[in-house]
Each structure stands twice: as C-alpha cells, then as structure tokens.
Amino acid sequence: MSKLHSRMYGWKYVWNTFAEEHQGEVDDPNPDSSHEPMSIHVPLPETPWILSYTMSPGGKTKSDHTQVDVSYTPLDQAFKFAIHPEQFHHGLSKLLGMQDIVVGHDDFDKAFIIKGSDENIVKNLFEDAALRRLLLDEPSVQLWAHCENTDSSPSSRALRPDCNTLSLRLKGAVDDFERLKTIQKLMHRILASLCRVEVAAAN
C-alpha cells in the first residue's frame, strides 16, 4: 500500500515520504519538531548528482526558507551565474565579477534579474524554453552557481573537492510532494543545461 502524499501531516512527513520514494537519505536531528531544520539527500536517477534539500526555520527574526544544493564537476572553473526576482534586494544583489544580462525572452527578463560572468553562455543556458517555464512557475526562486549568497550557505553534503555548487532557494517550507518533484525536475534541467553549454561534466 502506497503512502499518502498529503501535507495534512506536516512538511516533515512529506519530506520523509519523498526521500523514501526516491531512495534518499534523511538527516533530521529533531524529528519530533517541525520548527527544527531537516535535510534530505536525494539522488537524481542515472546521474552522478545528489540533491540536498534543507528546510531552515527562520525563528523570530527571519522567515523560513527551503534550499536545494548539488555539487557538479566544472568544465569551466570561472563561470558563475545567479538569478533572483526583480524585487529582491538581499543575498545575491551585490555580486562581484558578474554583469546584468538580458537573455532576450521578455517574460523571463521582466521576472528576474539575471547575472553572469559570461553573457553568451548565460544566454545559451536560458535558451531552453522548458527551463525558463519551470523557473517562471516559481516566481520567488533564487538560483545561483559558483557564487556566494550572503543570506545562506550550501549544505555540507554539496561541498566536494574540485567541484562547484549549484543552489536554489525558495521562501517557506515546501510542504507539497508534487512541488518537491517539480524542484527535482528543475534542478535536473539546469544541470543538464550546464552540461549542454559545456560548463559542467555529465559524469
């Protein structure tokens, strides 16, 4: 009998179920509290990549957020990029060594500030219409590769020697099973696109 995917049992139940159904690992120091951090580490099928999902309760001074990190082998050590919503003014808003880029798709350019170290690679990266749609469906998303977000640090599981890190961050605790799957699909798509533009290795 399959497990229910209902959020009525809380976000930790949904995350545990997602990890179980995707052959992942759970790192939850305090499983009885939904107000304590939790991580799951989920492999992407038929790839070398493992996604580390972490929910961090904000407490009294900050809001909750969900972050997903993954390490990848870079073919271009210097390339980095970041996107964040137009109205966003923290964390990724003061990045050195990158320029503002218009990728040439009006809906996407209006929704996000796009920065990168190489304009041609960034434009090629976001030529993928399916990738753009997945990002547009998450209007609060922040996504960055090989650069620092001053509001957050990557999971220690995503820090590997000679590898770069790709990170995604969303507001709140993602308590919907299908949304966790969509995030998995989005991360797989961007990793595949990084391989397509010869920034990341596929193995």
Longest dimension (CA), the chain: 53
Residues 5-34: tens digit of each pLDDT: 656 678 899 999 999 999 999 998 788 777
In angstroms, the CA 115 to CA 112 distance is: 10
What integer best gives the mean pLDDT of the chain? 86
Residues 109-119: tens digit of each pLDDT: 999 999 999 99
Bigger pLDDT: 1 vs 26: 26
In the chain, the amino acid numbered 51 is: L
Give the strand pairing for 164-171 and 142-145: antiparallel
Q: Torsions phi, psi of 20, nearest 5? A: -65, -45
* Share of residues in the chain with pLDDT > 70 (%): 82
| In contact, 183 and 93? CB cutoff 8 Å | no
Tokens 């995917």 found at: 5
| Whether pLDDT at 143 is above 90 | yes
Q: According to the model, what pLDDT value does residue 91 have?
A: 53
pTM of the model: 0.87
Q: Tell me 198's DSSP state.
A: T
Q: According to the model, what pLDDT value does residue 77 have?
A: 86
DSSP-assigned beta bridge partners for residue 163:
none
Say which range, 27-36, 135-144, 178-187, has the weakest mean pLDDT: 27-36
Residues 79-105: tens digit of each pLDDT: 999 999 987 655 555 555 678 999 999
Q: Which residues of 129-158 are buried (b: 16+ CB within 10 A; e: fewer)?
A: eebbebbeebeebbbbbbbbbeebebbebb
Contacts of 98 (CB under 8 A, 6+ apart): 80, 81, 82, 115, 116, 117, 147
Q: Which two tokens stand for residue 160?
A: 């590997």
10 Å Cβ neighbour count for 34? 15
| In contact, 115 and 103? CB cutoff 8 Å | no
| In contact, 149 and 142? CB cutoff 8 Å | yes
